[in-house]
Every structure is written in structure tokens, then in C-alpha cells.
Amino acid sequence: MRLGQILKKSIKRFLPESFLESLIYVRRRLISPVRIIEAYRGNAIIDVMVICVGQRCNFRCRDCGNMAPYSPKNHGSYPIEEMKEDVNMLFQHIRGIKSIQIQGGEPFLYEHLGELLDYLGGYSAFIDNIYIASNGSILPKEEILESMVRNHIGLRISDYGISHEKAKEVRRICEKQGIHVRYYEFAEGDAMWYRMGRPDDTYSPDENISKRFFFCAYRTCLTLENGRLYHCSRAYNAHYVQNFAEKKKDYVDLRQTKELRKKIAHYLTFTTYMEACRYCNGSHHAPRELAAAQMEKQ
């Protein structure tokens, strides 16, 4: 065991849990002044960003973190020209992104995926890596594979056991083309998700929402969806599904260009919870549920 791990274990044993939590909370709220200055100068570097192409999916996971199966119909897939314009607008106000994850719903159902990949490929000097996150149930079309190869785009497969053979086939085909694949096998029956909340769930209104946010594992999954930036990939869709009012501070609207650099810089640095966090269990104390448990087909 490394020295750091031994120290961590000893500290955990001797300090009360609540004190440790407070320390972590304060630590997560600290902001580096350099980071703030660079962000306001348009030099922010985003660690991870999700681009959501739409909520259409061929699975119906009851505990989908993004609430995809409960989505309004018009969230199925977003117009490609608007998505390209949003990406373009964002890159005018930041320096780069380390990792982009293209996500749905199921991204291989998105009819303009190839066009989006080629467009993102044009920003390769400002993006370290791009991945598509798929449930592994759909074989990508030839033109998509070509675009992935051309633009050095990888694939992340979550194999929930629902279409296990297909997931293996997708992996084999991609790897044969030289596409980098990360394969996550969720054996049905023992892999668990967080139950962040279904539409008819109730949530604890008295809980400290700021703490729920700062202890949530997903608060750093900055997400671009339908022209807006959110701290996580649940918030945009959730506000329609759960029918709550958002506040202006919850997101940045990339289609309202006035003082956009300032708004992006503020959002990335002076981070705070969103109204969506009030209607979500977060990940810290959320109950666990079977991963990708399916609802009846409609």
C-alpha cells in the first residue's frame, strides 16, 4: 500500500466523518485565482465536456441519469447546424477542451453523427481526445467508422448484458479499424447505478443542496445540450421532465452572445448548484439500483 493511502486510511480512522466531509466541501469550493483570470481572458481549459446529440435511445433504462426515456419528443435529436454553431461559439471564448464525450440517448441513432464528428475534427488542435459513449447495441455505419478513423475518435461501450453479443461485435469491428475502444462490462445482476431520481420520486427538500452538488460525482460533467452549457448532463432534460423552473445562474445560453466570455468564465469558475439538484439525489447518498434495468416498451 502506498504511503498516501496509508495516511488517508489513518486520517479517516481518527477524524470524525462530519469533519472530513466539511474539509472536502471547503476544498471543492476553493477556486484558483489563476484559473479565474485565465477564464476571464478567454483562456479557460475545460477538462471534460459532454455533447448531447439528443435523447433518442433504443433502451428504456428506468434509472437513466439523463431521464432519456421520459424526454419530450422534440428532445430526440438536435439540429446539426445549431450544434455546429454552438461548438463554434464556445471555442471563440475558451482555449481548449481536454476530453469530449459525445452522448445521447444513443449517439449511433443520431442521423447527423458523421457530420458532427467531421466538424469536431476541424477543432483537433484545441481538443485532446473525443469519445462516443454507446450502449453497444448498434453497429455504426461505414461512413461513421470512416469519420471516427479520420478524426481519431474513440468509442466507449457500456455493455449492460442486454445486447452482449452485439456489443462484442461493435468492439471487434472498431478495433479492426484501429479505433480505440474502452469497454465497460456491466454483468447483469450485480452492476449498480445510482438512483438519481425518476419523474415520480420525491426528494429531501431540507438537505443542504449546495453540499449535494459539491459531493456529486457528476458535477464536473460539463454538458452542452441544445445551445446551453450545464454542470451535468441531467439538468437540461430534467427541467422539462420534472417540470421545475430554472434560474438564470443554472446554465449559460450560448445563443445569447452578449458578454458571453464573461458568462462562460463565471460559470466555469464560480460554480454553484443548479435548481436541478433539488430534484435529484446526486451520487453521494443516492440509493443504488440495478444498472440499465429496462421498463416495458411503449
Which residues are near ligand SF4 by CB under 6 A?
A: 196, 212-213, 216, 218-219, 231-232, 234-235, 274, 276-277, 280, 282
Complex with ligand SF4: residue 64 or 113, whichever CB lies closer: 64
Cis preceding-peptide flag for 282 (omega within 30 of 0):
no
At 288, list the grid cell.
443504488
- Rounded to the nearest whole angstrom, what is the least distance from the CB of residue 197 to ligand SF4 in the complex? 8
Residues 6+ apart with CB under 8 A from 243: none
- Rounded to the nearest whole angstrom, what is the least distance from the CB of residue 231 to ligand SF4 in the complex? 5
Complex with ligand SF4: residue 159 or 250, whichever CB lies closer: 250
Report the phi/psi class of residue 162: left, alpha or beta, with left for phi > 0 and alpha for psi in -120 to 50. Answer: alpha
Complex with ligand SF4: residue 265 or 276, whichever CB lies closer: 276
Q: What is the DSSP string of 276-291?
A: GGGGS-TTTSPPEEET
- Rounded to the nearest whole angstrom, what is the least distance from the CB of residue 292 to ligand SF4 in the complex? 17
- Rounded to the nearest whole angstrom, what is the least distance from the CB of residue 242 to ligand SF4 in the complex? 10
Residue whose C-alpha cell reads 435511445 in the numeric block: 57
Q: From residue 5, how far is each of 8, 9, 160 by CA, in Å?
A: 5, 6, 32
Complex with ligand SF4: residue 183 or 240, whichever CB lies closer: 240
Question: What letter would DSSP give residue 265?
Answer: H
Angle between helices 260-269 and 33-40 (to 10 degrees): 160
- Rounded to the nearest whole angstrom, what is the least distance from the CB of residue 284 to ligand SF4 in the complex? 8
Complex with ligand SF4: residue 108 or 213, whichever CB lies closer: 213
